[in-house]
Amino acid sequence: MDFLFIADPLESFKIKKDSTLAMMRVAQEAGHRLWFCQSRNVLWKDNSVVADCQALEIKPSSTSWFELSAVESRSLKSFSAVLMRTDPPFDIEYLNTTWLLSAAVRQGAKVFNHPTAVRDHSEKLSITEFPDLIPPTLVTRELIAVEEFHQTHRDIVIKPLDGMGGMGVFRVGSDGLNLASIVETLGENGSRTLMVQRFLPEIAEGDKRVLLIGGEVVPFALARIPQGSEIRGNLAAGGKGLAMPLSDIEKRVATKLAPILNERGLFLVGLDLIGGYLTEINVTSPTCFVEITEQSGFNVPQFWLAALEKALS
């Protein structure tokens, strides 16, 4: 089969732990043909959605680890699967790409994750569909609403809706120090919507990344544990990643959501849970394949490929 990966520049990959690269490697090892392009190379031309793409071969070398052929223009529906793996932010150009991918789906392309489902699931706001699974949460642009929430819960976390990797996450304790300043700065004086949640002290045990693939639950999570005085467990913010079996409550949450999200076209999902509470539903380019595989022995890329092959059969 021919797999087209729409991703960030290959030169930007962190080759020791990149999940997209792990997907590419296992697919190539299974005999599938790899193709690559960036989202900017997806276009509408001659009444079809096409990609100006290149055949890709993964090399064993850690330096010159890939080889690309000459650029070819191919219809997206000519590929066995199109895998959208461009990292956030989910800005207007990301949105434009999903609209083009939706047009490709109408023409017969098989896109993972389904672009309509990606658009419909804000990685932060989508948790509000499952209020019984989330911590006390407020979504607002209004400072007074945040102040009232703080008075109720005393210890809170404030974050922008379009952040990634822990960017822009602030904790405000019971003293309320700098609350107004943080809200005004993050919210750009009321022009941007913020999410506010009760602080979960269980973050000390890790912000758990749980992977759902093809409606099934990967049995190991990656606990991203904050270091030092940091409250963020994100690996991009210096958190330490530790793979561990899912707890009973994590299994219950993941088992409940896996079939629902898969039915909507969300083939690969990364749930974030703290103390059993659902805090995010990541659908753009979930990661942690390599860390979980190396530490637990459970081969996540192989699990992903088997599920993809099944979905395409």
Of 110, 198, 208, 224, the catalytic one is 224
What's the pLDDT at 232? 62
Enumerate the CATH 3.30.1490.20 domain ranges in the chain, comma separated.
Answer: 136-199
Catalytic residue among 18, 113, 123, 159: 159
Question: Which residue among the candidates 198, 262, 282, 291 is catalytic per the annotation?
Answer: 282
Class of domain 2-119: alpha beta
Residue 159 is a catalytic residue: yes
pLDDT string in tens for the chain (313-residue length): 999 999 999 999 999 999 999 999 999 999 999 999 999 999 999 999 999 999 999 998 767 899 999 999 999 999 999 999 999 888 899 999 999 999 999 999 999 999 999 999 999 999 999 999 999 999 999 999 999 999 999 999 999 988 776 678 999 999 999 999 999 999 999 999 999 999 999 999 999 999 999 999 999 999 999 886 666 656 665 678 999 999 999 999 999 999 999 999 999 999 999 999 999 999 999 999 999 999 999 999 999 999 999 999 9
Is 208 considered catalytic here? no
Annotated active-site residue 240? The verdict is no
User: Which residue spans of the chain are classified as CATH 3.40.50.20?
Assistant: 2-119
262 is catalytic: no
Is there a catalytic annotation at residue 87? no
Catalytic position from the list 232, 234, 250, 262: 232
Q: Which of 85, 124, 198, 208 is catalytic?
A: 124
Q: What is the CATH number of domain 202-312?
A: 3.30.470.20
Q: Examine the residue annotation and report whether 282 is marked as an active-site residue of this protein.
A: yes
Say yes or no: domain 136-199 is CATH 3.90.1170.40: no
**Catalytic: 124?**
yes
Give the pair of three-digit tokens for residue 209.
């990344």
* Known catalytic membership, residue 189: no
